[in-house]
Every structure is written in structure tokens, then in C-alpha cells.
Structure 1
Amino acid sequence: MKNNRQDKGKGGGGDPSILSGANQTIRNGWICNYTIKWWFLANDFKNYP
């Protein structure tokens, strides 16, 4: 019984949550990298005479 419950938990509840979490981290990382690049570009332009 314990083994069956673990299998159901891994297959049904575990995988979708892991996938959704991975998608969120990828999106957040991409947005963060994009804003950081623009922030550095803005600072570089400020430093030019």
C-alpha cells in the first residue's frame, strides 16, 4: 500500500508541480537577465562623457 501511494504521488502530484516550478524559474531568470542587461546598458551610457 505504501509503495502504491508513493508511485501515485510521484506520477500524479510530483511531476506537474516540478514542471510548473521549472517553467516559473526559467521565466523569472529570463526576465531578470533581460532587466539586468538593460540596467547595465543604462549605467554604461551614464558613464560616457
Structure 2
Amino acid sequence: QSVENALVQIQNQAGELVAEDLRQAQNSLAEITGTFSSDDLLGRIFSSFCIGK
């Protein structure tokens, strides 16, 4: 669905919307394939820090 949305946005020349749709498509594929995402990386980095103390 996100890839289809990106194709529509490309035709409408809405670059910022294309980028967001492609990011969502990448995240969906990462969930299916089990690949490592940037959210995983941030989670691992900040899991060992105590922020706010």
C-alpha cells in the first residue's frame, strides 16, 4: 500500500510525501523479513541510559 501511495505522490510531485510513503514501506518490509531497523538501533542505544536523572 505504501509503495502504491508513493507512486501516486511521485505523479503529483509531492516529494516529502513520497519520502514518507517509502519510509513506511521500508518499515513494513523490515517487520516481515525481520531485518534490523533504525528504531531497533535507537532502542538498543537508549536502553542502557537513564535519561532525566
TM-score, scaled to structure 2:
0.39
Quick check: which has more Rg, 1 or 2? 1
More helix by share: 1
User: Which one scores higher on RCO, CA 8 angstroms, separation ≥ 6?
Assistant: 2
Q: TM-score, normalised by structure 1?
A: 0.42
